[in-house]
């Protein structure tokens, strides 16, 4: 997925749907997988806010903070969520505690070690985690094609590292949910 210098909603969606044919199914599955009504939500790699807007359609009272390392991608998200944070998933998270940390199509940008560090931080600061992302099926199978550096893992590794369960999968996309405490 390319970081565009002046993304607008339609050009971003055209681009991402070309690279992730099941993009909309993944978004819907990730939001449907949220296990309880969250008050404070942190979305990692919020991009233009596609996932957040679907989350807010399901939970209109949620207070959502979006984090992204690309200021150009945050421009649209600013209109959708309560706060945005220009930051990297590799670094300590914004102050919690959070009811839910959510991330769609973003954690594949992290190396395995970075993912495991992130998941440790999430577990300390959040009641639940929902990840939607593409995974490795081996042998170059799967329809998702992303540009730039990507480190997809098997769904089983990703679930094990965050103590989560795979609740949805289609082609090379999965949704994983972990509940830490209520």
Ligand X SMILES: C[S@@+](CC[C@H](N)C(=O)[O-])C[C@H]1O[C@@H](n2cnc3c(N)ncnc32)[C@H](O)[C@@H]1O
* Residues at the interface with ligand X (CB under 6 A): 1, 3, 16, 45-47, 50-51, 68-70, 73, 88-90, 104-106, 109
Q: By C-beta, is 31 or 178 nearer to ligand X?
A: 31
Contact 68, 77 (CB under 8 A): yes
Closest separation in Å from C-beta 116 to ligand X: 15
Contact 93, 122 (CB under 8 A): yes
Residue of this chain nearest to ligand X (CB atom) = 47
Residue 41, H or E segment = strand 40-44
Q: By C-beta, is 20 or 128 nearer to ligand X?
A: 20
Closest separation in Å from C-beta 182 to ligand X: 25
Q: By C-beta, is 90 or 179 nearer to ligand X?
A: 90
Instruction: For residue 38, give the DSSP letter.
Output: -
CB atoms within 10 A of CB 4: 14
């Amino acid at each position: 997925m390319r970081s565009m210098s002046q993304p607008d909603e339609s050009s971003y969606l055209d681009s991402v749907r070309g690279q992730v044919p099941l993009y909309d199914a993944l978004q819907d599955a990730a939001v449907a997988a949220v296990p309880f009504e969250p008050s404070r939500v942190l979305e990692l790699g919020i991009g233009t806010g596609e996932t957040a807007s679907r989350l807010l359609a399901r939970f209109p009272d949620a207070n959502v903070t979006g984090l992204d390392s690309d200021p150009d991608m945050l421009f649209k998200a600013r209109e959708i969520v309560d706060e945005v944070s220009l930051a990297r998933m590799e670094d300590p998270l914004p102050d919690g505690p959070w009811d839910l940390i959510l991330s769609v199509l973003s954690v594949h940008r992290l190396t395995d070690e970075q993912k495991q560090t992130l998941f440790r931080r999430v577990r300390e600061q959040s009641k639940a985690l929902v990840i939607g992302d593409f995974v490795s099926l081996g042998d170059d199978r799967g329809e998702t094609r992303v540009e730039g550096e990507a480190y997809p893992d098997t769904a089983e590794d990703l679930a094990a590292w965050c103590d989560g369960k795979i609740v949805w999968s289609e082609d090379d996309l999965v949704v994983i949910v972990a509940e830490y405490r209520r």
